[in-house]
Amino acid sequence: MSQPSQLLSGAKGEYAPGPGSGLILAIESSCDETAAAVVERGRHTLSTIVASQISIHAPYGGVVPELASREHLRNIVPVVRAALTKAGISFSDLDAIAVTEGPGLAGALLVGVAYAKSLAFALGKPLIAVNHLEGHIHAVLLAQREAMGEPVPTVCGRSLALVVSGGHTHLYLTRHQGESFAYCNVGATLDDAAGEAFDKVAKLLGLGYPGGPWIDALAPHGDPSSVAFTFAQIKQKAHRPAPSAGPPRFLFSFSGIKTAVLRYVQIHGLYPSIERRREALAALPLAGPTAALPLCDARTLGLIASFQRAVVDDLKRKTFQAAEALGAEEILVSGGVAANRELRARFTEEAGRRGLPIAFPTVALSTDNAAMIAAAAWPRFLAGRFASLDLTADASLALGSEVRTRPPAPGKE
Ligand code: KG4
Ligand code: ZN
């Protein structure tokens, strides 16, 4: 974890801002990362600082909302200062302040929103409210733009975006014309998010928090065909609404596979070995997945590999089904789970087989960060879509329009 005190020691950058440089300072505090970034014109990252709270929440095996809010309060000022220092600019060089408005934990979001509003008011700069999920989609576009350099080619007009993280599993049909983006939600999870399933399974197996990176690292050591998690256990459903209600909807469910892992643990009497592993890892506070490997037997490694394979296959199958049904010209995959190596490999392989372009953010941009919020703010900046100072956090903010699963009741359109 990066401590804010360490972040402040970042070297002063070389950047010399000019008038109308398009410099946006973005702030992200929707969950357990306090992040700030300075991005120029939505495509050139001058600084990105993330203060993670993993060590605070790890003993609880999940994010504790009250602790998250308290840590955001402690971190926000040093993190923002570190972002400016690293970018080599001062507050007066900024063209706008962007902030995550939602979705996320209400108390956590409020810290970022209140701070961004105060800053915008004090500096007399415009405020831009950004949806966290749109930020994840723009992480892919930012990575593409940075990798390709200037002049920036536009991505194709009709993409399918899978946003897969600890709090979300969504499919969006994303249309854009130049710098203007429109989103339609065409898929979501009925229960747990995919990242949540990674975290809960890792916790059940006595591994560290967050569980995704642990399972990612351990899975290659197990046999992914050793436990047959059928798609029926994942309650696969694809709802096709009435013809008037638009395109089909693709639904995920990850609570079934979580329960199936639990049953496997019970049936095979794995609790004593899980307890030994939990205790051994607790005695090594800084231990990572490498320390867990010798503590896992072949059966456990097979379980981990089979779980990951089943989740990745389910995400892959529905994403490509949706891409085909909706005529997407490109697939974008983002969110914390997009850091998963097997997911990247299997999605890339499938896209290659179908001749469909696919893009991911860098691994660092996959998990929560503020550079993606600054990138998503840029089209709003260009369009002059600024937020007022009565902006407040919206914990359940949705992105774009949504495809209905049922036709509207008569007279209710
Ligand atoms: O995007 P993110 O930082 O926060 C949310 O918006 O939720 O995603 C965090 C989630 C956690 O559930 C974490 O376990 C998962 O992303 N994650 C991974 C990997 N790295 C992070 N899941 C699978 N494999 C990974 N390598
Ligand atoms: Zn996120």
Q: Domains of the chain, with CATH numbers?
A: 6-140+367-383 (3.30.420.40), 154-356 (3.30.420.40)
Residue 190 has pLDDT above 90, yes or no: yes
> Which tokens go with 33?
């990362």
- Answer yes or no: is the C-beta of 335 below 6 A from any ligand 1 atom: yes
Query: Ligand 2 centroid to 376 CA: how many Å?
Result: 13
Query: Ligand 2 centroid to 223 CA: how many Å?
Result: 30
Q: What is the pLDDT of residue 412?
A: 33
Q: What is the pLDDT of residue 318?
A: 97
Q: What is the pLDDT of residue 401?
A: 79
- 50-78 tens-digit pLDDT: 999 998 998 888 899 999 999 999 999 99
| Pairing assessment for the beta strands 358-359 and 330-334 based on DSSP bridges | parallel
Amino acid at 41: R
- Answer yes or no: is the C-beta of 339 below 6 A from any ligand 1 atom: yes
Which is the closest atom of ligand 1 to the Cα of 202? 14
- 366-394 tens-digit pLDDT: 999 999 999 999 999 999 999 999 999 99
Q: What is the pLDDT of residue 232?
A: 53
Query: Ligand 1 centroid to 185 CA: how many Å?
Result: 21
- Answer yes or no: is the C-beta of 198 below 6 A from any ligand 1 atom: yes
Residue 24 has pLDDT above 90, yes or no: yes
- In Å, how far are 93, 112, 126, 214, 379 from 22, measured between CA atoms? 9, 21, 12, 39, 11
- What's the whole-model pTM score? 0.90
Q: Whose CA is nearest to atom 21 of ligand 1?
A: 336
Nearest bound ligand to CA 312? 1
Mean pLDDT of 340-348: 98
Mutation test of ligand 1: which of 367, 368, 397, 399 has the most ligand atoms closer than 8 Å to its C-beta?
367
DSSP E strand stretches across 282-363:
330-334, 358-359
Residue 307 has pLDDT above 80, yes or no: yes
- Answer yes or no: is the C-beta of 187 below 6 A from any ligand 1 atom: no
Mean pLDDT of 109-128: 98
Residue 410 has pLDDT above 90, yes or no: no
Q: What is the pLDDT of residue 6?
A: 30
Mean pLDDT of 186-201: 96
The residues placing their C-beta within 5 Å of ligand 2, an ion, are 165, 368
Query: Ligand 1 centroid to 280 CA: how many Å?
Result: 24
- Answer yes or no: is the C-beta of 216 below 6 A from any ligand 1 atom: yes
Q: Whose CA is nearest to atom 13 of ligand 1?
A: 212
Which residues in 51-70 are b (16+ Cβ under 10 Å) and which e?
bbbeebbeeebbbbbebbbb
- 137-162 tens-digit pLDDT: 999 999 988 888 754 445 558 999 99
- Answer yes or no: is the C-beta of 360 below 6 A from any ligand 1 atom: no
* Distance, CA of 122 to CA of 199 (rounded, Å): 40
Residue 106 has pLDDT above 50, yes or no: yes
Which residues in 240-256 are b (16+ Cβ under 10 Å) and which e?
eeeeebeebbbbbbbbb
> Which tokens go with 85?
């220092």
Query: Ligand 2 centroid to 9 CA: how many Å?
Result: 26
Nearby residues of 298 by Cβ (< 8 Å), 6 or more positions away: 222, 223
